[in-house]
Amino acid sequence: MLSLDFLDDVRRMNKRQLYYQVLNFGMIVSSALMIWKGLMVVTGSESPIVVVLSGSMEPAFHRGDLLFLTNRIEDPIRVGEIVVFRIEGREIPIVHRVLKIHEKQNGDIKFLTKGDNNAVDDRGLYKRGQHWLEKKDVVGRARGISNGTRES
Amino acid sequence: MNTVLSRANSLFAFSLSVMAALTFGCFITTAFKERSVPVSIAVSRVTLRNVEDFTGPRERSDLAFVTFDITADLQSIFDWNVKQLFLYLSAEYSTKNNALNQVVLWDKIILRGDNPRLFLKDMKSKYFFFDDGNGLKGNRNVTLTLSWNVVPNAGLLPLVTGSGHMSVPFPDTYETTKSY
């Protein structure tokens, strides 16, 4: 019933009005895309808004919460920060807290992470033989949170 | 507004807008608050050993055991937008190998509703305090600070350091007897 009403409206339009509608639609879609891309530029992150997938940072983050990320390379990595990192060869990024850092004079840093809800640090998750993470593994820093829907 | 569907649609859109506005309100009313409180840290004992780092790279490194006290009143930080505080006691020092080292010794989660007044005595560290090398022996200046990550319902996730830190010189010799 609803779809027939819509088609009647379209049939009543002339070519000009039809083009106008299509352009209008295109404007809306491109505005949304530009806002997203603009956010990517401002934050420096590939995915500035992500959803929490696992419960390894409970009770701070639950599955379904939204996280706002930035990825400014100049930001120094310090303990307590929540970093989003990717392990070489794995696709899914992990959001955990920095537990230990050792930084050399020239800025080279190696650090260890741990999920708040995990009993042990993340060395079990890293690649075989890898004991530390480096700056290149970081894809973002969690800067803001918004509660999402709760599963439980 | 004459069908159930259009009414439901309007209602849904309105509820979403209200919830978004509330969330933004939560964020903007607490975004610029001062979240630091004075903290008192005391270190009663430091012992040092030199063993293979069994938590990671198997090299002989300095392992420290620190016994500490913490006094802090975090009541003023909790407001309508704070879900929990993630506290962590970190030791910061510099060595020949590394210009900056930071190690978290102990952490605690305080949820909204839990007792926010800390009065901890003779606490043992939760995590092994291994150095990357042998830079803890005779280190003149290891600074312990208590910091916290404020986790809100909606908004920024600031890391705040308590005002009040404790610098300790580490022993010059390794402990050989069994203790801690």
What is the spatial distance between Cα A104 and Cα A113, in angstroms, rounded to a whole number?
18
The answer on A53 and A39 residing in a single domain is no
Domain membership of residue B175 (yes or no) is no
Average pLDDT (B148-154) is 89
Number of structural domains found in chain B: 2
Same domain, A39 and A59: no
What are the tens digits of pLDDT across the range B24-57? 998 888 888 888 888 888 888 888 888 888 888 8
B144 part of a folded domain: yes
Any domain includes A150: no
CA distance A12 to B111: 61
Domain total in chain A: 2
Interface test with B, best of A79, A97, A99 (most B CBs within 10 A): A79
| pLDDT (mean) for A26-47 | 92
Q: Is the pLDDT of residue A7 over 90?
A: no
Clarify whether residues A88 and A126 are in a common domain.
yes
**Residue B54 included in any domain:** yes
Q: Which domain holds residue B46?
A: 33-166
- Provide the pLDDT for residue B97: 86
B154 pLDDT higher than 90: no
d(CA B58, CA A129) in angstroms, rounded, equals 11
Q: Please indicate, yes or no, if residue B157 is contained in any of the structural domains.
A: yes
pLDDT band at A152 (very low <50, low <70, confident <90, very high): very low
Residue A88 falls within a domain, yes or no? yes
pLDDT in tens, B72-129: 998 888 888 898 999 999 999 999 888 999 999 999 999 988 888 889 999 998 999 9
Q: From the candidates A102, A104, A122, which should be mutated to test the interface with B, based on the most B CB atoms within 10 A?
A: A102
CA distance B83 to B99: 35
With a CB-CB cutoff of 8 Å, which residues 40-79 of chain A face chain B? Answer: 59-61, 78-79
A80 and A133, same domain (yes or no): yes
Same domain as A81, residue A139: yes
**Which DSSP letter does residue A136 get?**
G
In this structure, the answer to whether residues B107 and B25 fall within a common structural domain is no
What number is the average pLDDT over the span A44-49?
A: 86
- For residues A78 and A147, give the distance between their C-alpha atoms in angstroms, rounded to a whole number: 25
Are residues B17 and B103 located together in one domain of the fold? Answer: no
The rounded distance, in Å, linking the Cα atoms of B80 and A39 is 28
My answer on whether A66 and A126 are in the same domain is yes
A86 and A24 within one domain: no
Who's near B132: CB < 8 A, 6+ residues apart? A102, A110, B61, B95, B97, B98, B101
> Residue B120 pairs with which residues in a beta bridge?
B70
Same domain, A63 and A131: yes
Q: Is residue B179 part of a domain?
A: no
Domain around A70: 49-143
**B73 phi and psi angles, rounded to 5 deg:** -120, 110
In a domain, A149, yes or no: no
Predicted confidence at residue B178, as pLDDT, reads: 67
pLDDT top residue among B22 and B56: B22
Report if residue A12 sits inside a domain: yes
Complex ipTM? 0.85
Say whether both A128 and A79 belong to one domain: yes
Q: What is the pTM of this model?
A: 0.83
Q: What residues in A contact B84, CB-CB < 8 Å?
A: 59-60
Q: Mean pLDDT across the stretch A51-63? A: 87
- Burial string for A84-119 (b: 16+ CB within 10 Å, else e) reads bbbbeeeeebbbbbbbbbbbeeeeebbbbbbbbebe
Residue A54 CB: number of other CB atoms within 10 A?
16
Tell me, yes or no, whether B43 lies in a domain: yes
Question: Bridge partners of A114?
Answer: A97
Does residue B146 sit within a domain? yes
